[in-house]
Amino acid sequence: MKVLAVGYACNPYGGSEQAVGWNAVRRIARHHDVWVLTDDHNRAGWTKATAEGLVPANVTVRFLREAKDSPPNRFIAHVQSWLNYADFTRKVLAEARAWHEEIGFDLCHQVTIASWRMPSPLWQLPVPFVWGPVGGAGHIPKAFRTILSPSARAFEFARDFSNRSAMRSRAFRDCVEKAAVVIAANEETEELLKPFRKVAPMIRLPVTTLAQESIARLTSGHPVPDASGPLRMFAGGNMEGRKGVALALRAVAGAVAKGIPVHYTIAGGGPEIPSLQGLAASLGITQHVEFHPGFSGDDYVRALQGSDVYFLPSFRETMGMTLVEAILAGCYPVVADTSAQGEIVRMAGGIAVPVQSVDGLVAGLTEAIVWCHGHRAELPEKTRAIAARITEYLSYDRTDQALEHAYRESVVSQVKS
């Protein structure tokens, strides 16, 4: 097939959403010729990857819009990124139509941005349109928002309003109802979108896969497990309110009160760090908690491999890639049983603590720490088994099969319509 892959975020050297777009292109190119339409801010990465021979021969790229420097203020930069995406969306249909006139695509697949709140106009092309994987249906229950800082609570309120507005919008309804196939990134997003799809084709598939080089990087050189010293726990990423670290700190305090030796590394910046530092001090656990600015490269891998447990409740994840990386590196997972990370742990193994009340979740997380300490010698073997299941779940072969199914369904759907 000739596939037009559209990804506002798609960069061979980028992380997060940019990596999602690039990995999707690589997956599709294993079986189809691919023409990529992406934003100009990804140009430098593509130029470098082409020079280094990383871009498959059957992949052609074009860039839309004109890149602008991001402002230094993180909040303003975040708002600007959404304004940039909105501008990309306004312009992408005309560019896609013009390119289709040249090439004659068999199918269009929008691979990023992976959020249901950001619909695409590309269903209007005269070829089947595949949307996704899309996620973003997670939320923090209102009963749990008391743990958030004032700014985080305000953000969640604004997000609730945005969700309600997006769901009523004509752009969303047209995209979700008229796409040939919608791919949901996780269970909660699938449940959100099902009523709009009715009997139209819909599949579930994570937003990314695990390349062999990534698996090797995380699994090779595991240190010999050291059962001495405190139980080493790790959390990584941008520490926003949705990560639930305030609950994790309360659980650490509870475990310490039970006599469990714990060292909890919170790696990464984010708006909640000052609030979390204040909470750790008020709980009297500052000597058990390390706030690290964040690891990168081999230092990141060593930090994971030197930890016993990945300990991050989190309420809202589309994929939970840091969780996956931690498991591959040898960390036993403890999360809240909600959103994508709960789904992953229920499927592969580990501890997913039920989300019923604040006190109940804290108690469950505390008991998980106690259990991990008591079974510390068994954790490496248990984690290897979990990693094997996740590797299969996120394998190229499984993803290829799901994508081929989606593409077949999209063609059949287009014929029926």
417: its two tokens: 């319509």
pLDDT for residue 223: 64
Identical fold between 2-207+395-416 and 212-393:
yes
Which string of b and e fits 38-53 if b means at least 16 CB within 10 Å?
A: bbebbeebbeebeeee
pLDDT for residue 72: 58
Q: Express each pLDDT in 171-203 by its tens digit.
A: 999 999 999 999 999 999 999 999 999 989 999
What is the pLDDT confidence band of residue 225, given thresholds at 50, 70 and 90?
A: low
Average pLDDT over residues 201-226: 83
339: its two tokens: 């959103």
What is the pLDDT confidence band of residue 70, given thresholds at 50, 70 and 90?
A: low
88: its two tokens: 């990309």
- The rounded distance, in Å, linking the Cα atoms of 381 and 387 is 10
Query: Sign of the CA dihedral 382, 388, 389, 394?
Result: positive
What sections of 52-149 are H helices per DSSP? 74-103
82 or 296, higher pLDDT = 296
Cα 70 off chain centre by? 22
Strand partners, 267: 236, 292
What is the pLDDT confidence band of residue 415, given thresholds at 50, 70 and 90?
A: low
pLDDT for residue 310: 98
pLDDT for residue 390: 95
319 has a pLDDT exceeding 90: no
pLDDT for residue 210: 85
Taking alpha carbons only, the member of 31, 98, 19 closest to residue 400 is 31
Taking alpha carbons only, the member of 383, 387, 336 closest to residue 358 is 336
Task: Specify whether the CB–CB gap between 289 and 259 falls below 8 A.
Answer: no
Close Cβ partners of 364 (under 8 Å, ≥ 6 residues apart): 353, 354
Average pLDDT over residues 111-135: 94
- Residue 3 — φ and ψ, nearest 5°? -110, 125
Residue found by looking up tokens 């650490």 in the block? 252
Q: What is the DSSP letter of 3?
A: E
Task: Specify whether the CB–CB gap between 270 and 240 falls below 8 A.
Answer: yes
H or E element that contains 300: helix 297-305
Mean pLDDT, the chain, whole residue set? 91
90: its two tokens: 């306004």
CATH architecture of 2-207+395-416: 3-Layer(aba) Sandwich (3.40)
- The rounded distance, in Å, linking the Cα atoms of 12 and 3 is 19
Q: Which CATH number fits domain 212-393: 3.40.50.2000, 3.60.15.10, 1.10.1050.10, 3.40.50.740?
A: 3.40.50.2000
Average pLDDT over residues 149-174: 89
End-to-end CA distance of the chain: 20
393 has a pLDDT exceeding 80: yes
Q: What is the DSSP letter of 306?
A: T
- The total number of residues shown for the chain amounts to 417
- The rounded distance, in Å, linking the Cα atoms of 188 and 46 is 33
- Residue 29 — φ and ψ, nearest 5°? -70, -10
Q: Express each pLDDT in 336-374 by its tens digit.
A: 999 889 999 999 999 999 998 999 999 999 999 999 999
Pairing state of beta strands 351-353 and 289-292?
A: unpaired
Taking alpha carbons only, the member of 207, 232, 251 closest to residue 353 is 251
Close Cβ partners of 292 (under 8 Å, ≥ 6 residues apart): 265, 266, 267, 268, 303
Query: Percent of the chain, pLDDT > 90?
Result: 69
Q: Name the residue ranges covered by the structural domains of the chain.
A: 2-207+395-416, 212-393
Cα 58 off chain centre by? 27
Average pLDDT over residues 238-262: 94
Pairing state of beta strands 202-204 and 351-353?
A: unpaired
